[in-house]
Amino acid sequence: MKIELITKDNNLLEKGIAYFWKQWGNDSNFDFYRDCIENSVSDDNALPKFYVLLDHNEIVACYALLLNDIISRQDIFPWFACLFVDENYRNQGIAKKLMTHALSECKNKGFETVYLSTDLENFYEKNGWSYHANGYTIFGEEIKIYSISLTS
């Protein structure tokens, strides 16, 4: 299995857009995902970036690094977002592998702290993330924000 940046290969780009949209999108926002991902190609150091985990050329997991996770806290970044592991691949350490990759990518880009928003309980805490603050979704729902330092 290998982690790939989906914008490096046109075939993977199309499959990656469809995968992210299937996991996180809805009937009305495919163009949002396509536009966001296609326009992340221009600069290797800029965000956003979209990654997939391939098992024999089949996408089985994904994550993204974003400037904002579409919540109220526009003042902090980067965001670890869109983590998803196919059901048949869960409980094998893949989420941890993707998190480790993401934190390495952020550190290589010069970031000192990474954030995420979630309604999950205990998953991220077990992996070194700490509660940072609350934020609000675009629907007005309160959501927890976690952070992790890359300097310690």
Which tens digit of pLDDT belongs to each residue from 97-118?
A: 999 999 999 999 999 999 999 9
3-class secondary structure for 138-151? CCCCEEEEEEEECC
Distance (Å, whole) CA 40 – CA 19:
16
Q: Which residues lie below 8 Å from residue 86, measured CB to CB, with a gap of 6+?
A: 60, 61
Homologous superfamily of domain range 2-149: Gcn5-related N-acetyltransferase (GNAT) (3.40.630.30)
Confidence of residue 45 (pLDDT cuts 50, 70, 90): confident
Which tens digit of pLDDT belongs to each residue from 10-28?
A: 788 999 999 988 988 888 8
The pLDDT value recorded for residue 32 is 84
pLDDT exceeds 80 at position 9:
no
CB 36 within 8 A of CB 48: yes
Query: What pTM value is reported for the model?
Result: 0.91
What integer is the mean pLDDT of 54-80? 94
Q: Which residues lie below 8 Å from residue 105, measured CB to CB, with a gap of 6+?
A: 49, 51, 65
The pLDDT value recorded for residue 114 is 97
